[in-house]
Structure 1
Amino acid sequence: MTKIFTTIFALTLACGAQAAEVTRKGAPAAPVSRVVTVPADYETLYFAGVLADLKPGEPVPDTEAQTTTVLEKLKTYLGEEGLTFADVVMMRVYLAPDKATGKADSVGMNRAYRRYFGTAEQPNKPARVTARLAGLFGPALVEIEVQAVRPVKGN
């Protein structure tokens, strides 16, 4: 009887020792995850909103080009923390209207976004909110903030 309890206890410890992983649910063709679940033994890093570097007097890049610049900057910031886009669980995208058209270009933003998320190289997709605003700072057309997670060290 003691041997049975010892075996059950050992199996329970072994099962509990396995690290839980982040899970993502949603339609495969969708650009975002419907829900992302993060286990309790992960820490969350919050990255502030990022804008493209726009210089006064120079032509203003379109939304797709600005989104690419912003995502490249975020890629660098994530890397400084030992993270990648695969670790991003939540994204907030703020779009402003282009002065030339008066419309926010969500199509251009999504073209750039899909080069970084939901690809063969990086299949993870975050949950995401995309909001259209009346405007951003200066000629900026897109601002993006992300939350990323990683296992707590020692677990």
Structure 2
Amino acid sequence: MSQFTGLTRYPFPTNDEVVTHAQGPQAGDQVIANSGSLPFLLATGIASTQEIIFLSGHTPPVINSYAALDSIEAFGDTRVQTIGIFQELQKSLAQLGLTFENLVKLQVFLVGDPALNGRMDNEGFSSAYAEFFGTTEQPHLVSRTRVQVVGLVNPGWLVEIEAVAAR
């Protein structure tokens, strides 16, 4: 149970219940975490008395300073970039006195990976996401959207994540 008041997390129905719409865990998503289910959330509600905080887009840190700073090699693949972004997002939240528990929404921009013939690496992103959300250490999930975009400011970036938090 969350210690954060003013926030309600609405889970998807369990596997035993009939899901009558196509949102959330979909046929194209592979099972990668949480005892056979992906960590999806139907919705998040915020009480009108809460402060809503919109965090600017977070981009990946450099992991290879010997590579050209506009190359994928400088930042890693989608999974590595996503992990780096979540680590940076944790730091930003801490500066505001917040944690992942305060997050309510993520908007994820994924560039098509040349190694995947231009398709976004949804599995790489989802694998990294599952390391930070819906875990024993951090059980809270967030509402989220993933979209493929043509490109980001730096050609080496495959991921950018915007976040919304509530206090």
Instruction: Tell me if TM exceeds 0.5.
Output: yes
Runs of 4+ in 1 over 3 A off after TM superposition: none
Distance in 2 separating the partners of 1:57 and 1:81: 33
Q: Deviations over 1:49-77 (max 9, x none)?
A: 11113455262411000000000000000
2:107 to 73, 92, 109: 92
Which one-letter code corresponds to 1:32 in the other structure? F
Deviation (angstroms), 1:30:
4.1
Deviation (angstroms), 1:20:
5.1
Aligned match of 2:85: 70
Aligned match of 2:57: 49
Deviation (angstroms), 1:82:
0.6
Distance in 2 separating the partners of 1:26 and 1:91: 16
TM-score by length of 2: 0.73
Q: How high is the sequence identity, in percent, across the aligned residues?
A: 31
Change over 3 Å in CA distance of 1:43–1:62 after alignment to 2:
same
2:146 to 130, 134, 138: 130
Is 1:145 the equivalent of 2:145?
A: no
Q: Deviations over 1:76-121 (max 9, x none)?
A: 0000001001110010000001123222101000111111111111
Secondary structure, in 3 states, of the residue corresponding to 1:114? helix
TM-score by length of 1: 0.78
Distance in 2 separating the partners of 1:124 and 1:24: 8
Structure 1: gaps (5+ residues): 1-18, 151-155
Q: Deviations over 1:118-138 (max 9, x none)?
A: 111111111001001112222
Distance in 1 separating the partners of 2:84 and 2:59: 8
Aligned match of 2:43: 35
Larger Rg: 1
Which one-letter code corresponds to 1:39 in the other structure? A
1:23 to 8, 11, 15: 8
8 A contact 2:107–2:146 mirrored in 1: yes
Which one-letter code corresponds to 2:156 in the other structure? P
Distance in 2 separating the partners of 1:110 and 1:67: 9
Secondary structure, in 3 states, of the residue corresponding to 2:41? coil
Which one-letter code corresponds to 2:159 in the other structure? V
Distance in 2 separating the partners of 1:124 and 1:111: 16
Distance in 2 separating the partners of 1:20 and 1:68: 28
Q: CA RMSD in A?
A: 1.8
Distance in 1 separating the partners of 2:5 and 2:128: 31
Say which structure is richer in helix. Answer: 1
